[in-house]
Structure 1
Amino acid sequence: MEQFLSYFTLDVIGIALLSTLLIMLFIQIYFYLAYYKKPLSYLKQIADTHEEITPLPSVSVIIVAKDESENLAKCLPSILNQDYPDYEVIVVNDGSTDESEFLLKNLKREYPFLYSTFSPYSDANETIQNKVLPLTIGIKAARKDILLFTEADSLPMTNQWVKSMVNSLANKDIVVGYSRFTESEDFSNKTALFDNLIFTLQYMSMAIKNKPFAGLYKNLAYRKHLFFDNKGFSATLNYDNAEEVFVNYIMTDNNTAIALSQDSYVSTELDNFSHWRKIKTAYSRAKFNFKGFTGGIFSLETLSRYLFYLLTIASIIYSIVSQLWVYLGAAILLFIIRYIIQIVVLNKASDHFLTNRFHLSLPFLDLIQPYYNSYFSRISKNKKRRKK
């Protein structure tokens, strides 16, 4: 009996390990409850007070496409058949050499509110991913009050997309929407789905807290006057991915809304790892130039996440080596507590954002996701440059 009780004695090293582990657990719980749970909690808060805008303002849907005739053939019918009283669709042909013009010409015969224009110059340098010129052309061609942006590889999930995005705008100037990734059996796809969910919860929770920092042109709307009031992209023109930096610059603590209705979603078919890398590196290039970058608070979540895993492993190893099993039990208990909170919060979010649920693979995805983000950031930093 005495020997059995000796396995559960405490010592300074073990107490230090468990105390630090407990602190990391509290930090993790704080982020999950205060940030990652925030969008769904906010949705419940506004469910009874949300009202549709009347009358509905006019909308210009703007798409920049370069050699994407196949994607345009998929997305345009859905966009052109939206249930909305007053909108136009503008496709900016960014130097395409495929069948895009032929496709657009045929669709215009059926849809008189479809317009197309072209960008006379497309930068072939892969290290510069700006869409400043074609977007400016599209915005100046727009005749409506609200500018709603998407991309050729993104498909609205319902015919209520335009209406849902506009209703989410309400009395704000900017609304950031959600773009889901399609699922496949490829391993990188599972990582991309997890990363996309985490990123969505991050930028949406910060917008709810009146600290918005990002909006992606896959699903984004802002009032037309914002573009001209800020002299277009002139303030961010010297940066890679200037259009993304522009969105960050015009966001304030009281002008940004989020779209949480499933009618507002678009779906992006993730072809392969290279496609995901292109999306992530484009955002990373822009992120380097964000003002203040309030999203940087999530670096603390990442740090505490890794420390939690390391301290859990260290506690287990120390318990086995010292044969003090109390540390083994405590470490496993704390791990289970975090896992339960994590899986409940993320799977509820997964259901709402129409992506796959996470189970036994969650700890591995949890560990590898920051690695991929670091990898994409390194690529972006190596290629990043300021135009002279």
Structure 2
Amino acid sequence: MDLQQITLDWRLIAFIIFCVITLIQLVYYWGIFSKLAFYRQKPREQSQQHPVSVVICARDEAANLARNLPGVLFQKYPSTHEVLVVNHNSQDDTRYLLEEFKKTFKLLEIVNLEHEAKGIPGKKYPLSMGIREANHEILLLTDADCVPASENWLYIMQDAYSPGIEVVLGYGAYQKRPGLLNKLIRFETFHTAMQYLSFALAKLPYMGVGRNLSYKRQLFLENKGFSSINHLPGGDDDLFIHKVANKNNTSIVIDPEAFTISEPKLKFGDWFRQKGRHYSTGKYYSGKFQFLLGLYSITQFLFYPALILSALYFDWKLSLGVFGLRFLSQGFLSYKCMQRLNEKDLWPWWWLLDIWMFIYYCIFAPALWKKPRQTWV
């Protein structure tokens, strides 16, 4: 075999690798993400109204509670419910603010914790205390910096329960504001939700987000709460759901009225620190999900470098043809998923944001190995 033949083989191999990467991406988009793209909530023959305990943990969150708590307290829900706020050793005016709210809203319950839990970093300790103090079986969790998108949030989330369902996954969106950072934050949030909601619809639930999440109190107690992950700063939402959710007990809600809305970070550094903290739990997923999520991320990361190599060194026309298959599929299914999650304004930018994901992985991949910070705020 001469040098020219070896060179040709190398170029062909580069094209074949690009084709394999593209095929894997298409399998994820058409095999998994299409489930969210075409999802339709089945109409119920009759609605239901379970007793619900809304649980919110707060630490030095007076400003956020003043702004967002009324949205939780003013829910249109005539059945039995309570809003339980756990004030975890706040040094600001959180305690006094909650006492003022309590004078007007009798459904508000306050749990004041004045001590740290030794050896339990993060917010798992206050959340555990809130759940143990809750009076109702169905728990609906959100954060102090979140506000429900409508007065029907509580009703719609609890209505997703049916016989056998113990976990309900919701969507926690971010406020829409002008600027590049806002688009990057919202696209990353959408991209993450597209994955965990689609996997749940594919009977492979693996995580939820604490900004909008519901599960049954008995499920929490039967699994000994967060005892298996108490040593980790994070994981009170994704790792717990990873442990208890299965193909039979999990449902999703993507009604825009049942979203929660959070204030996005205003500085790149703050967002980088937040995301680094969130991604530090990924290495604790089961081997199956590390493989499934890792394969998707790796092929997404390698897609554009493989495209460039294939186009430059093999045949640019064939390479662009393969690229076009993914481009059209991804554009169409991204649009449908963005429709479902009320993020349609991002669609004109989706192809640039997809290229951004290469840089994103370079920035945040080290978080999988770095030791996370021990705080939860």
TM-score, normalization by structure 1: 0.85
**Residue matched to 2:209:** 216
> Which residue in the other structure is 2:20 paired with?
23
1:344 aligns with 2:332: yes
Cα distance change on mapping 1:360 and 1:239 into 2, 3 Å = same
1:288 match: secondary structure = helix
Q: Report the identity percentage.
A: 26
**Compared CA separation, residues 71 and 52, structure 1 to 2 (3 A):** farther
1:308-319 alignment runs, 5 A limit: 308-318=303-313
Secondary structure of the 1:311 match is helix
- 8 Å CA contact 1:27–1:301 kept in 2: the answer is yes
1:256 aligns with 2:250: yes
Q: In structure 2, the residue corresponding to 1:185 is in which secondary structure?
A: coil
Indicate whether 1:288 and 2:283 are aligned.
yes
Partners of 2:86 and 2:113 within 8 A in 1: yes
Residue 98 of structure 2, aligned match among 99, 104, 107: 104
> What is the CA deviation profile of residues 101-160 of structure 1, one whole-angstrom value per residue up to 9, with x for unaligned ones?
2221221121100111122224799xx852122112211211112111000111110111
Other structure's SS at 1:232 match? coil
1:83-103, CA deviations, whole angstroms, 9 ceiling, x for partnerless residues?
Answer: 112110011111112222222
1:236 CA displacement: 2.2
Query: Deviations 1:173-221 (Å, cap 9, x if unpaired)?
Result: 0111101122333433322222111110111122122221111211111
Q: Which residue in 1 is equivalent to 2:342? A: 354
Pair member with larger Rg: 1
Name the amino acid aligned to 1:25: T
Identify unmatched segments of 5+ residues in structure 1.
Answer: 1-10, 320-326
Describe the shift of the 1:314–1:381 C-alpha distance in structure 2 as closer, same or farther (beyond 3 A).
closer
Q: Is the contact between residue 69 and residue 103 of structure 1 (CA under 8 Å) also seen in structure 2?
A: yes
Aligned counterpart, 1:170: 162
Q: CA 1:52 to 1:157, structure 2 compared with 1: closer, same or farther past 3 Å?
A: farther
Say if 1:130 and 1:241, in contact at 8 Å, map to a contact too. yes
Equivalent residue for 1:243, pick from 230, 236, 247 = 236
Once residues 375 and 124 of structure 1 are traced to their aligned partners in structure 2, the CA distance between those partners, rounded to angstroms, is 32
Equivalence for 1:60: 53
Letter matched to residue 354 of structure 1: N
- Please state how far the C-alpha of 1:60 moved relative to its aligned partner: 0.4
1:184 aligns with 2:181: no
Please give the alpha-carbon distance, in whole angstroms, between the structure 2 residues aligned to 1:360 and 1:67: 38
Q: Distance in 2 between matches of 1:232 and 1:23?
A: 42
Supply the RMSD in Å over aligned alpha carbons: 2.6
The residue type paired with residue 271 of structure 1 is: K
Are 1:57 and 1:86, in contact at CA under 8 Å, matched by a contact in 2?
yes
Shift of 1:280: 2.2
Q: What pairs up with 1:110-129 in 2 under 5 angstroms? A: 110-122=104-116, 129=121
Aligned residue number for residue 6 of structure 1: none
Q: Does 1:34 align with 2:31?
A: yes
Distance change in 2, residues 1:52/1:151 (3 Å): farther
Runs (5+) with no aligned partner, structure 2 = 1-7
The structure-2 alpha-carbon separation of the partners of 1:370 and 1:211, relative to structure 1 and needing over 3 Å to count, comes to: farther
1:36-85 Cα distance to aligned partner (Å, 9 max, x none): 221132x23x434x44543x210000000111111111211111111112
The answer to whether 1:69 aligns with 2:57 is no
Is the alpha carbon distance of 1:296 and 1:315 closer, same or farther for their aligned partners in structure 2, counting shifts above 3 Å? closer
**Correspondent of 1:376 among 355, 364, 377:** 364
Corresponding pairs, count: 363
Contact 2:36 2:201 in 1 (8 A): yes
